[in-house]
């Protein structure tokens, strides 16, 4: 049985580090540009695998050199791969600009990720049926994610959906009810729930509001502020660790990959969220997306070096 099955995007990231943000029409020379593995599906799968889980990844790439590079890079993290090769589409690409404070802006070209269909997902149903946790994101067609969610639930798995990029049009109640746990950031939560959380207390209320729309639980990630949640009867929040941020690219993916791992291992929701938040904080101290994901030993060392987090359950 796979601990975690990820159905999602596989990209190559072109990341430019900027000395400052340009004005419209202005050219700014990048400090450097990195080429790396990305795509929310790939990032989450790598993050989960590095934490010691058995992880399978279902996705798609093109027949181009970028697709070959992506598969080769995925081969370094002990993943079981079910990657479709699509001759009619290029490999997905993300063009990422990282500012001087580590914040980022991303332009996404879905490419082969957009070719994933429910029929393709059905071919991989035996793999999904073995999952303890199915992890999804919004970088592939919704119909494919919904088919994967139905298969996983039929076999008793927990379905976690990261609704990023923010869904437009906003998902209806039937769609939201297909997922057990929704993990939006503040922007995505505001779009779905109708109001933007301004802090952790407000994010708790937003998480509660999200659970009334369909999912069993919701976790709202608030970047450097922290994270808030409602999972069943458990409601709470915790501030983020204070770290020296290099860039935030892939931090949310690391959080979701780690969350899936610790849930698959039977951790209570609060404990899984706590561990996942620390994995994500550590990832922000390193450049890159998938490349920044820490290993379990590194997360445990990081936690030992930090003060006990301020968990605020209710």
Residues forming the active site: 253
d(CA 238, CA 226): 6
Is residue 309 within 8 Å of 239, Cβ to Cβ? Answer: yes
How, if at all, do strands 104-109 and 133-137 pair? Answer: unpaired
Q: How many CB atoms lie within 10 A of CB 47?
A: 36
Residue 141's H or E segment, with its range, is: none
Distance of CA 192 to the CA centre of its chain: 17
CA angle 57, 73, 4 (to 5 degrees): 25
Residues in Cβ contact with 230 at an 8 Å cutoff, skipping those fewer than 6 apart: 204, 207, 208, 210, 211, 217, 218
d(CA 110, CA 92): 5
User: Which of 45, 53, 6 lies closest to 261 in space, CA to CA?
Assistant: 53
Phi then psi dihedrals of residue 146, to 5 deg: -65, -40
d(CA 295, CA 42): 16
Residue 137's H or E segment, with its range, is: strand 133-137
How far, CA to CA in Å, does 104 sit from each of 18, 195, 256?
Answer: 10, 23, 19
Residue 5's H or E segment, with its range, is: strand 4-7
Residues in Cβ contact with 194 at an 8 Å cutoff, skipping those fewer than 6 apart: 209
3-state secondary structure of 83: strand
């Amino acid at each position: 049985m796979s601990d975690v099955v990820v159905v999602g995007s596989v990209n190559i990231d072109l990341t430019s580090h900027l000395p400052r943000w340009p004005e419209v029409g202005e050219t700014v020379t990048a400090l450097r540009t990195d080429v790396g593995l990305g795509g929310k599906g790939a990032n989450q799968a790598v993050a989960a695998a590095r934490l010691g889980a058995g992880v399978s990844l279902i996705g798609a790439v093109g027949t181009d050199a970028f697709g070959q590079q992506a598969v080769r890079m995925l081969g370094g993290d002990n993943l079981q791969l079910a990657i479709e090769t699509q001759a009619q589409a290029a490999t997905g690409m993300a063009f990422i600009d990282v500012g001087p404070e580590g914040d980022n802006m991303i332009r996404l070209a879905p490419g082969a990720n957009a070719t994933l269909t429910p029929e393709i997902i059905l071919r991989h149903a035996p793999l999904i049926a073995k999952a303890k946790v199915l992890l999804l994101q919004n970088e592939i067609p919704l119909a494919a994610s919904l088919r994967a969610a139905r298969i996983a639930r039929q076999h008793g798995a927990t379905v976690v959906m990261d609704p990023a990029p923010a869904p437009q049009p906003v998902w209806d109640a039937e769609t939201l009810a297909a997922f057990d746990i929704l993990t939006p950031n503040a922007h995505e939560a505001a779009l779905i729930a109708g109001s933007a959380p301004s802090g952790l207390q407000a994010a708790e209320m937003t998480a509660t509001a999200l659970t009334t729309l369909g999912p069993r639980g919701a976790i709202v990630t608030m970047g450097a502020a922290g994270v808030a949640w409602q999972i069943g009867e458990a409601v709470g929040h915790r501030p983020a660790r204070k770290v020296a941020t290099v860039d935030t690219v892939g931090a949310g993916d690391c959080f979701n990959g780690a969350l899936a791992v610790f849930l698959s291992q039977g951790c209570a929701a609060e404990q899984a969220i706590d561990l996942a938040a620390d994995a994500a904080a550590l990832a922000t101290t390193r450049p890159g997306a998938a490349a920044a994901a820490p290993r379990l030993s590194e997360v445990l060392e990081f936690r030992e070096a930090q003060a006990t987090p301020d968990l605020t359950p209710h």
